[in-house]
DNA sequence: GGCGTCATACCGTCCGGTCGGTCTTAAATT
DNA sequence: AATTTAAGACCGACCGGACGGTATGACGCC
């Protein structure tokens, strides 16, 4: 059987220069997971969309789950690093909390597909990876909580609402962004971030 | 022939009075969907847990999707009726919004399994049913939004934050309850409702 | 000529859904 | 009152096909 090797490994394809196969797989997988759900997306769907075959995918990723885990790891790593930078910065606790809140909304909206997958398919991960993701997320929450606590200690924020609850409260808002935000809507990611930040700080402020 | 008829229509069963098969199926299905996800729960799992066979399930429900739809329909219907009652009640807009917010948190926590399924598996419904659920949910949001608008018109709430955003903001919090709340934790559903209500009203109040 | 990068063909499993049939109970008929 | 009929409730074996994963090998590049 002659295999005419469609277009071989060369990537001067007619279309836009496509990123390497590994990244491409993760990207299209994220997109498909977000659109149709993890379980409704078959490995075949993914490789078709990426223009390769299963052999390629199982060469780079150990399993379909691996692909999912990468989504989580990637976005969590980025947001944690952002938060670290902001928390270590200057300004009052309120100022830094404002920055952190606006930033997490912004970056989440910039990676909407990841967020949709994130909050919807965590339970599909195998137990061990799920534990790891939860740990990473918990670490993020703790850093966020520390900022709130700082503001409480400084007397800027009200002390009668546990900071744990506040963190759950606000991060819930962030996690749900993917379920209603439309990029072509009237509000930009930045505007949404500012408004949500206002609502958060308002709720925290001593009256 | 004496009808010993296992337990016939009467349910003086030896065990705890079990609800009729149809309700039992929906109940165990909700539980399993919440624990393991819709797609990871096979019809066989459901009927096993309910103590019947597939024949019984397909006798009462047209498909596995039907079961899922019932979950949504049930909880949305209940919460909408609650909201209608509260909105039509007496008191200022702020008072009624407080009641509505606390109530939706409370009822959501009382039906945690439903909420978990709700925000996680909507995309698994066939298109037409999905559209219908979205419409029902939209109706709920609109009623909630009306309450906010009332408060803005009355000058109680700040007018520089679109009420649409506020509704998305707060209902996000509600929809995510299932992802962190533990019934055996230190906070009761009522307390969580009160705290979240405080945070919401605080964010809305004119400073 | 060995190694990374993929393609192709294939396998075993599982799952939603179907379908013919049985048992019980109530209504209709005799 | 006895018998037949009808209908609902439920059983359980079975099917078709999709899906995740694997095994093997071709092809280019150092």
Model confidence over A111-145: pLDDT tens digits? 999 999 998 999 999 999 999 999 999 999 999 99
pLDDT of residue A162: 96
Q: pLDDT band for A12, please (50, 70, 90 cuts).
A: very low
Looking at residue B62, the DSSP 8-state letter turns out to be S
A93 contacts: CB under 8 Å, gap ≥ 6: A147, A148, A150, A151, A153, A154, A156, A157
- Tell me if chain B has a CB within 8 Å of the CB of A182: no
Looking at the complex, report in whole angstroms how far the Cα of residue A13 sits from the nearest Cα belonging to chain B: 35
Looking at residue A41, the DSSP 8-state letter turns out to be S
Contacts of B126 in chain A (CB under 8 A): none
Contacts of A187 in chain B (CB under 8 A): 165
CA distances from A176 to A105, A116, B43 (A): 10, 8, 29
Q: Which nucleotide is nearest to B39 (CA to C1')?
A: C15
Task: Tokens 């979205």: give the residue.
Answer: B134
Supply A74's token pair: 């990637």
Closest CA to B110 of B1, B193, B16: B193
B150 contacts: CB under 8 Å, gap ≥ 6: B93
What mean pLDDT is predicted for residues B40-49?
96
Closest CA to B79 of B148, B147, B139, B131: B139
Looking at the complex, report in whole angstroms how far the Cα of residue A43 sits from the nearest Cα belonging to chain B: 16
Does residue A2 carry a pLDDT above 80?
A: no
pLDDT of residue A19: 80
Question: What is the average pLDDT value for chain B, to the nearest integer?
Answer: 91
- Tell me if chain A has a CB within 8 Å of the CB of B179: yes
pLDDT of residue A21: 87
Higher pLDDT, B4 or A44: A44
pLDDT of residue B207: 78
Q: Which domains does chain A have, with CATH numbers?
A: 21-60 (1.10.10.60), 65-204 (1.10.357.10)
What mean pLDDT is predicted for residues B94-100?
98
- Tell me if chain A has a CB within 8 Å of the CB of B42: no
- Tell me if chain B has a CB within 8 Å of the CB of A195: yes
Does residue B1 carry a pLDDT above 60?
A: no
Q: Which nucleotide is nearest to A45 (CA to C1')?
A: D19
Question: How many other C-beta atoms lie within 10 A of the C-beta of residue B3?
Answer: 6
Question: A44 with A88: CB under 8 angstroms?
Answer: no
pLDDT one-digit tens code per residue, B3-38: 233 333 333 333 445 788 899 999 999 999 999 999
Does residue B131 carry a pLDDT above 60?
A: yes
Question: B130 with A179: CB under 8 angstroms?
Answer: no
Buried-exposed string B42-54: b where 16+ CB fall within 10 A, e elsewhere: eeeebbebbebee
pLDDT of residue A59: 96
List bases in chain D with any atom under 7 Å of a protein Cβ: 9-13, 18-29
Looking at residue B183, the DSSP 8-state letter turns out to be T
Q: Smallest Cα–C1' distance to nucleotide D26: which residue has it?
A: A3
Looking at the complex, report in whole angstroms how far the Cα of residue A149 sits from the nearest Cα belonging to chain B: 16
pLDDT of residue B205: 95
pLDDT one-digit tens code per residue, A154-206: 999 999 999 999 999 999 999 999 999 999 999 999 999 999 999 999 999 99
CA distances from B152 to A28, B93, B104, B148, B158 (A): 44, 9, 21, 6, 6
In chain A, the DSSP E strands lie at none
Q: pLDDT band for B164, please (50, 70, 90 cuts).
A: very high
pLDDT of residue A17: 54
Supply B77's token pair: 């219907």
List bases in chain C with any atom under 7 Å of a protein Cβ: 5-9, 14-21, 24-26
Which chain B residue's Cα is nearest to A169?
Answer: B173
Question: B64 with B43: CB under 8 angstroms?
Answer: yes
pLDDT of residue B17: 57
Does residue A15 carry a pLDDT above 60?
A: no
Q: pLDDT band for B186, please (50, 70, 90 cuts).
A: very high
Contacts of B203 in chain A (CB under 8 A): 198-203
Question: How many other C-beta atoms lie within 10 A of the C-beta of residue B193?
Answer: 24
Supply B168's token pair: 């998305």
What mean pLDDT is predicted for residues A12-38?
82
Mutate: best of A168, A182, A187, partner B, most B CBs <10 A: A168
pLDDT of residue A75: 93
B117 contacts: CB under 8 Å, gap ≥ 6: B30, B33, B34, B38, B68, B71, B72
Question: What is the average pLDDT value for chain A, to the nearest integer?
Answer: 91
Does residue B193 carry a pLDDT above 50?
A: yes
């Amino acid at each position: 059987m002659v295999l005419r090797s469609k277009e071989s490994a060369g990537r001067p394809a007619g279309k836009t220069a496509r990123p390497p196969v590994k990244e491409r797989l993760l990207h299209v997988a994220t997109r498909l997971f977000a659109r149709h759900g993890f379980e409704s997306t078959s490995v075949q769907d993914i490789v078709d969309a990426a223009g390769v075959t299963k052999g390629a995918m199982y060469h780079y990723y150990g399993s379909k789950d691996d692909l999912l885990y990468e989504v989580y790891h990637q976005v969590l790593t980025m947001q944690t690093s952002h938060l670290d930078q902001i928390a270590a910065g200057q300004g009052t606790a309120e100022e830094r909390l404002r920055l952190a809140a606006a930033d997490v909304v912004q970056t989440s909206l910039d990676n909407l597909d990841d967020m949709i997958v994130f909050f919807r398919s965590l339970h599909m991960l195998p137990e061990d990876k799920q534990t790891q993701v939860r740990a990473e997320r918990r670490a993020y929450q703790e850093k966020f909580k520390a900022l709130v606590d700082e503001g409480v200690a400084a007397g800027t924020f009200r002390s009668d609402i546990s900071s744990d609850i506040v963190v759950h409260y606000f991060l819930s808002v962030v996690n749900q962004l993917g379920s209603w935000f439309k990029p072509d809507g009237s509000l930009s990611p930045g505007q949404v971030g500012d408004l949500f930040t206002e609502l958060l700080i308002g709720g925290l402020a001593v009256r």
